[in-house]
Amino acid sequence: MYLSQKHMSRRTMLRGMGVTVALPLLDAMVPAQRLLAKSAAVTRPRLIAIEMVHGAAGSTEIGIQKHLWAPAGVGRDFDLGPTCLTSLEPYRDYLTIVSNTDVRNAEAFESREVGGDHFRSSAVFLTQMRPRQTESSDVRVGTSLDQLYAQRYGQDTPIPSMQLCIENVDQSGGCAYGYACVYTDTISWASPSDPLPMVRDPRVAFDQLFGSGATAEERAAHRRTDRSILDFISAEIRRVSGSLGASDRRRLDQYLDNVREVERRLQKVESHNASGERRELPGAPIGVPDSFDEHVRLMFDLQALAFMTDSTRVFSFKMGRDGSGRVYPESGSKASFHPASHHQDKEDRILEFQKINAYHVGTLPYLLEKLKNTPDGDGNLLDNTLIIYGSPMGNSNLHNHKRVPLFLAGKAGGALQGHTHVKAPDGTSMANVWLTLLHRLGLDDIQSFGDSTGELAL
């Protein structure tokens, strides 16, 4: 259908009292006499790169035999039943499983590097480069996949990229085995020597997205009022809403309701954490929920809101930190994460670790459903997003980096078809997958990436 002559800028902002709120894509933002689909087509696919540490039960010999990660069938004919990916069944049309790849540059090449796998793996995940072993500031690894994409296609959004995490980070000094902590604290590198800090506090990420106060003092003052940021721009909301058609008003109202709901949940977390009650995470910032589920969901909500408004198109999300002893009661396992990953290749303990893997993957459908239900051009946000989920470690009991867990979700604007399982030839580097994705995302001038040897047919 063709749209009216009225045209609102895609970068329209609602401003007031230090608050800046971008708007979602509305029909009124499409230039007159242009199809909505054609307008949306100029927006590059969104990218979310998610790392979960400690490998997977499916990377063990027993796990491979029992298909605990990768299904037995390849191509379109595969059964997720035995795997820890069963929660993704409703989204198989958006799912591309890539199995049997290795992350060679995370392995120990020299005797002095033995034992340091936990402290270099995350740095290799999105760079596929070998970290320089140092505990000083002369860190060096490589530019990460997410940053290559952000540097090429993120510069025309208000925020080129955002980096989020769940676990605590400490980007100073050395950690162990001669590696600086920054190697395990971030997965995003703007250059080989420029690691990007990751935001753990959802409130901080919310303020970055919505400009909730120009200064820290102003932001604190806003929070003390217990008012929504939308209260500070109510006049602007009424003004803009009055100029929109009925369908645009509904879309705007739904978006603002989502913003208000996320803010309400943040206020609830902060109120609880400031109450003096005993916290499960006593050292965490006040905006960080004790609940892993709630923390992850808040971060996913913020990513979805950012994509709705085209505030940014690139996220990296570190959902775990190597060596974490966190317990996930909702998984059905009472074991703490890192000890559970050292299962001594005993079947009963591998199956216990599998429960944690399944739980972590099971957080993704919340995001997938939210993106799928958000219109975007002639499709939805999940059609126009690429989500990477994987680990740079394979069998964590051996600290090896072979047959690592990896899947892709979303269709990346048509770059991926979904509903497929690709089993790579033995010895294939994960870097081949990254090179393929970079090419399909439009960076086809990049000839190699990390230790890639060529593209992998997806």
Q: What is the pLDDT of residues 35-68, one digit of tens each?
A: 444 444 457 999 999 999 999 999 999 999 999 9
The pLDDT tens digits for 195-217 are 999 999 999 999 999 875 555 56
Instruction: State the Cα–Cα distance between residues 400 and 115, nearest whole angstrom.
Output: 10
pLDDT bin (cut points 50, 70, 90) of residue 8 is confident
pLDDT value, residue 40: 45
Instruction: State the Cα–Cα distance between residues 27 and 45, nearest whole angstrom.
Output: 19
- What crossing angle do the helices spanning 292-309 and 364-372 adopt, rounded to 10°? 30
Helix and strand element counts for the chain (H, E): 14, 15
- What does the domain layout of the chain look like in residue ranges? 1-42+209-287, 49-200+292-458
Which tokens hold the place of 280? 């499960």
Instruction: State the Cα–Cα distance between residues 312 and 155, nearest whole angstrom.
Output: 9
Contact 432, 98 (CB under 8 A): no
pLDDT at 162 over 80: yes
Stated pTM of the model:
0.94
The pLDDT tens digits for 105-149 are 999 999 999 999 999 999 999 999 999 999 999 999 999 999 999
Which tokens hold the place of 174? 């050395």
Q: How many CB atoms lie within 10 A of CB 37?
A: 12
pLDDT bin (cut points 50, 70, 90) of residue 219 is low
Instruction: State the Cα–Cα distance between residues 156 and 325, nearest whole angstrom.
Output: 40
pLDDT at 2 over 60: no
Instruction: State the Cα–Cα distance between residues 248 and 7, nearest whole angstrom.
Output: 12
Higher confidence at residue 156 or residue 138? 138
E strand intervals along 125-205: 162-165, 174-176, 179-180, 189-191, 194-195
Instruction: State the Cα–Cα distance between residues 30 and 226, nearest whole angstrom.
Output: 36
Q: Which of 9, 13, 12, 4 is nearest to 34 (CA)?
A: 4
Contact 10, 313 (CB under 8 A): no
pLDDT at 239 over 70: yes
Which tokens hold the place of 361? 């993957």
**What class does CATH assign to 49-200+292-458?**
alpha beta
Q: How far is CA 121 from the centre of its chain?
A: 17
E strand intervals along 292-348: 314-318
pLDDT value, residue 35: 47
Query: First and final CA of the chain: distance in angstroms?
Result: 34
The pLDDT tens digits for 259-276 are 999 999 999 999 999 999
Mean pLDDT of the chain: 91
Q: β-pairing, 179-180 with 174-176?
A: antiparallel
The pLDDT tens digits for 322-374 are 999 999 999 999 999 999 999 999 999 999 999 999 999 999 999 999 999 99
Please list the alpha-helical segments (H only) found in 274-394: 292-309, 337-341, 347-361, 364-372
Instruction: State the Cα–Cα distance between residues 258 and 278, nearest whole angstrom.
Output: 30
pLDDT value, residue 23: 87
3 state SS of 95? strand
Q: Which of 348, 337, 347 is nearest to 396 (CA)?
A: 337
pLDDT value, residue 4: 42
The pLDDT tens digits for 433-458 are 999 999 999 999 999 999 999 999 99
pLDDT value, residue 216: 59
List the beta bridge partners of residue 429.
102
* Average pLDDT over every residue of 420-425: 98
pLDDT value, residue 175: 81
Contact 120, 178 (CB under 8 A): no
Which tokens hold the place of 159? 């925020």
Q: Which of 437, 441, 442 is nearest to 458 (CA)?
A: 437
pLDDT at 21 over 50: yes
Distant-in-sequence, close-in-space partners of 332: CB < 8 Å, separation ≥ 6:
355, 359
Instruction: State the Cα–Cα distance between residues 359 and 332, nearest whole angstrom.
Output: 9
Helix (H) or strand (E) run with residue 46 in it: strand 46-51
Higher confidence at residue 240 or residue 31? 240
- What is the per-residue burial (b if ≥16 Cβ within 10 Å, else e) of 399-425? bbbbbbbbbbbbbbbebbebbbbbbbe
Instruction: State the Cα–Cα distance between residues 198 and 188, nearest whole angstrom.
Output: 8
pLDDT at 218 over 70: no
pLDDT value, residue 32: 47
